[in-house]
Amino acid sequence: MSGSASSDACLEARHLVKDFRLRSGVKARTLHAVKEVSFTLEPGRTVALVGESGSGKSTIARMMAKLEAPTSGDVLLDGVPSATRGGALARYRRDVQMVFQDPFGSLNPFHTILHHLERPIRIHHPGLSSREVGHRAHELLERVQLTPSSRFAERRPHELSGGQRQRVAIARALAPGARFIVADEPVSMLDVSIRLGVLNLLADLQRQEHLGVLYITHDLATARHFSDEILVMYRGEIVERGPSDRVILDPRHEYTRTLLEAAADPDRLGLLRDEVRNGG
Amino acid sequence: MSLAPEPVLSARDVSIEYEVDPPVRAVRGASLTLHRGEILGLAGESGCGKTTLAYGLNRLLKAPALMTGGEVVFHDVSGRDVDVVGLDGEALRTYRWDKVSMVFQGSMNSLNPVMSVRRQLHDVFSTHRPGMRRGEREARSSELVQLVGVDPSRLSSFPHELSGGMRQRVMIAMALALDPQVMIMDEPTTALDVVVQRGIIREIMRLRERLGFAVIFITHDLPLLIEISDRIAIMLEGEIVEQGTAHDIYRTPQHPYTRRLLSSFPSLRGERGDFVRRGTTAQGGAA
């Protein structure tokens, strides 16, 4: 480990900007996908980033995971601007990992589950013996509740359900020893009845490992219950931020209200029908 | 409520099998009654057979799917009962779309990409209303798109020039074209953003008040169904395990699966679901 003081351990986005050049024929225009976004992830805390498609949420996730370079602005790990290449970038990736939305696309169908977990361990901890690597991989499987691990280790992704695959993806993200996890819609492709299970697992691991989590979603209900702080994004900007209960129960920004209004709420049963019936 | 509970579509003991090896019994003895003008929600998870059942009601099943038993009866507004299972040829053609129309899952991608919206709408009329004149078709088309909140100038557009929400609205306009008595909507808004989804749901509710069609609304989003439906049927592994008013399903669910499905959705404003943050063991305890 780099030995930085744990008190100021954090992952910070500072004035992140991302512009995309769009071309259509000879004309080109600039799309400002992310405009001056700043926030801080701390160990043991979850920050939710909510907004509609196209609001720039995923672009932020990709910049945090170093899959995309910001046009301007910085990503700071423990107060130090993060590297963009070489060994320093590899070390950054050991600390910051990503869980993708699609568990069907993020695992290689050619490799076994064990391989998916052993490889990041080998890359980030080259000193370990094969036995230690195997042992760690099995331990990870147990930790994401794929038990007994021997039953899952030699299988390939297509033999697992969506929920199980997403658990493997989480284990894979933890494998290098990550301290921060960027989870981009980690449950939206899963069946409804297993979503909470996967979120609960993520929350449990977060408490045990003291992880900092950036939870990206369009689902306000899970954002509220899963995270400590909510950032609401609209057209590349954070229009509202605050403690989750405050943002959901007492929204200040007009767009947050629109989003909340649009979320299904069974407690309002029949209201919409009465509203349109009375000429809404 | 002012709606008399008069049935418009009833299905009894419908069983549908996929004749593969081994055969998959996708729907097992499902019975449903849809009343005139009501919204019936059909909820269940992927693979529970809800889409297969909807296809069965509209006689859209393709091999290897086969309806192995049961009956589907359409009670026409004229008082005539139509045995849907026995329909074929011309009678089947007039039943589909004319009496019962359907908005398909991901249907915003089912518009023909090389035909303008106008031509696709006109197509419906030239097929089902051959007597209609060109001017009438045009007038009806622009009336329809206006009904769903799309500007008639967009009739000349091609699907790729419209946003997802607009394409979905065009699909709904198409489903409304022949004044059907029943509309089956299979996950009509799942692929859309929440705010757009809300707009379309409101539009559907508004049109139903105005035109009086009944809706079978299929989705896995139970909170949404509870909010908008009159009655809800819960499906599990091909069977309808519980049926009741939205109020009863929400307040007093009987079947354990209904309860499980309900508890899968954390409550937005209430406390239900806060165990995610607090930890499953220390429910309501130390955070």
The per-residue pLDDT for range B124-139, each reduced to its tens digit, is 999 899 899 999 999 9
Kindly tell me if the per-residue pLDDT of A266 is higher than 90.
no
| Residue written as token pair 């949404």 | B224
CA-based nearest residue in chain A for residue B199: A262
pLDDT of residue B284: 34
Kindly tell me if the per-residue pLDDT of B86 is higher than 60.
yes
pLDDT of residue B277: 57
How many angstroms separate the CA atoms of A259 and B198, rounded?
A: 10
Q: Do B279 and A52 touch (CB under 8 A)?
A: no
Residue of B265, B272, B278, B283 to mutate, testing the A interface (most A Cβ within 10 Å of its Cβ): B265
How many angstroms separate the CA atoms of B277 and A200, rounded?
A: 8
Cβ pair B276, A196 in contact under 8 A: yes
Encode pLDDT of B249-279 as tens digits. Answer: 999 999 999 998 888 888 888 776 655 655 5
Three-state DSSP at A255 gives helix
Give contacts of B265 with chain A, Cβ < 8 Å: 192, 221, 266
Of B222, B228, B261, the CB nearest to A272: B228
Between A2 and A254, whose confidence is greater? A254
- Taking the C-alpha atoms of A277, A278, B2 and B4 in order, what is their torsion angle to the nearest 10 degrees? -10
Helices first, then strands: H and E counts in chain B: 10, 10
Sign of the Cα pseudo-torsion (A170, A173, A174, A180, in order): negative
Give contacts of A233 with chain B, Cβ < 8 Å: none
How many angstroms separate the CA atoms of B119 and B113, rounded?
A: 11
Of B195, B230, B267, the CB nearest to A52: B195
Instruction: Calculate how close chain B gets to A88, using CA atoms only, in Å.
Output: 34
Residues whose CB falls within 8 Å of the CB of residue B71, separated by 6 or more in sequence, listed in order: B11, B12, B13, B14, B83, B84, B85
Kindly tell me if the per-residue pLDDT of A7 is higher than 60.
no
| Residue written as token pair 């331990």 | A139
Give contacts of B264 with chain A, Cβ < 8 Å: 192-193, 195-196
How much is the average pLDDT of B208-214?
Answer: 91
Residue of B211, B241, B269 to mutate, testing the A interface (most A Cβ within 10 Å of its Cβ): B269
pLDDT of residue A215: 95
Encode pLDDT of A8-59 as tens digits. Answer: 789 999 999 999 988 877 888 888 999 999 999 999 999 999 988 888 888 9
Percent with pLDDT over 70 in chain B? 92
pLDDT of residue A4: 43
